[in-house]
């Protein structure tokens, strides 16, 4: 299956074209929502960031998850059930001085995952979230405290 959307401009309009359509492979049994990201330079404190940063984080990290689930659930039900896995982040489970918008969005993914799990479990769809910690990439280096903490645990 392929859902082609620009995630940063995502809206939940409820139109019929918001539904996913399976291609050659037929049934849909697994959805893994793994889109996400953060603007480390702009995602600061609540009063220090502009609202476009907040909106972007919510759209990319929460709305994209909701949109993909909304598209996939009807097909998964038609296929006899399956599983949804939403990638989250440990930052949603802890407090810190930043990234505020990213953490709020990922916190929303946790709550959203619980609701989808309760709504569709009896119909044969499991929904879970996984929350990896900081992954040591070039983008992680602006957070030396977090990087050093990860290196201590390797």
88: pLDDT strictly greater than 90? yes
Instruction: Taking residues 119-136, report their average pLDDT.
Output: 92
What token pair was written down for 27? 């049934």
pLDDT at 35: 86
Across the chain, mean pLDDT equals: 82
Query: Which DSSP symbol is given to 25?
Result: T
Residues classed as catalytic: 102
Q: Which CATH number fits domain 26-152: 3.40.50.720, 3.30.70.20, 1.10.10.10, 3.30.70.270?
A: 3.40.50.720
Residue 1's pLDDT band, with cuts at 50, 70 and 90, is very low
Which residues are registered as beta bridge partners of 85? Answer: 32, 128
Domain extents in the chain = 26-152
| In the chain, beta strands by DSSP E | 30-33, 82-87, 125-130
pTM: 0.78
Instruction: Taking residues 26-40, report their average pLDDT.
Output: 90
What token pair was written down for 10? 């995502």
Least confident of 76-80, 111-115, 138-142: 138-142
């Amino acid at each position: 299956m392929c859902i082609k959307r620009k995630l940063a401009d995502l809206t939940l309009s409820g139109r019929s074209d918001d539904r996913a359509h399976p291609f050659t492979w037929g049934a849909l049994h697994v959805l893994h929502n793994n889109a996400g990201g953060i603007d480390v330079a702009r995602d600061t404190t609540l009063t220090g960031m502009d609202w476009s940063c907040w909106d972007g984080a919510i759209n990319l990290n929460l709305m994209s998850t909701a949109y993909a689930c909304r598209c996939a659930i009807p097909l998964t039900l038609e296929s006899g059930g399956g599983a949804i896995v939403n990638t989250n982040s440990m930052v949603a489970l802890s407090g810190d001085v930043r990234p505020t918008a990213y953490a709020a969005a990922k916190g929303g993914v946790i709550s959203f995952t619980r609701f989808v799990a309760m709504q569709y479990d009896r119909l044969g769809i499991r929904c879970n979230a996984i929350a990896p910690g900081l992954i040591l990439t070039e983008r992680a280096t602006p957070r030396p405290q977090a990087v050093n903490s990860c290196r201590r645990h390797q």
